[in-house]
Amino acid sequence: MLSSDISNLAKISLIGHPAVGKTTILKLISQKIINRIYLPTQGFDLNTVEFDNFRLKVWDFGGQKAYLNMYLHSYLLGTDIVLIVTDSTEQNVLSSRKLINIAKKTVDNDCPIIAIANKQDLIDKDNKVLQVEKVSDMLDVKTYGLTAIDPQERNKLLDIIKKELDKVISRKEGKVI
Ligand SMILES: Nc1nc2c(ncn2[C@@H]2O[C@H](COP(=O)(O)OP(=O)(O)O)[C@@H](O)[C@H]2O)c(=O)[nH]1
Ligand SMILES: [Mg+2]
Fold of the domain built from segment(s) 8-174: Rossmann fold (3.40.50)
How far is the centre of ligand 1, averaged over its atoms, from the C-alpha of 132 (Å)?
A: 17
Cα(38)–Cα(122) distance, rounded to whole angstroms?
Answer: 30
Q: For residue 59, what is the enclosing H or E element?
A: strand 54-61
**Mean pLDDT, the chain, as a whole number?**
84
Sign of torsion over alpha carbons 44, 132, 96, 54 = positive
Residue 151 has pLDDT above 80, yes or no: yes
Tell me the domain boundaries of the chain.
Answer: 8-174
Q: Ligand 1: does its nearest atom lie under 6 Å from the Cβ of 63?
A: yes
**Residue of higher predicted confidence among 86 and 70:** 86
- Nearest ligand 1 atom, CA 24: 15
pTM: 0.88
> Which of 24, 116, 128 gets mutated to test ligand 1 (max ligand atoms within 8 A of its CB)?
24
Tell the residue nearest (CA) to atom 25 of ligand 1. Answer: 149
Cα(65)–Cα(57) distance, rounded to whole angstroms?
Answer: 23
How far is the centre of ligand 2, averaged over its atoms, from the C-alpha of 177 (Å)?
A: 39
Instruction: Give the pLDDT confidence of 106-123 residue by residue, as tens digits.
Output: 999 999 999 999 999 999
pLDDT at residue 49, as a whole number: 80
Cα(55)–Cα(75) distance, rounded to whole angstroms?
Answer: 18
Instruction: Give the pLDDT confidence of 51-61 residue by residue, as tens digits.
Output: 777 777 777 77
Cα(114)–Cα(36) distance, rounded to whole angstroms?
Answer: 24
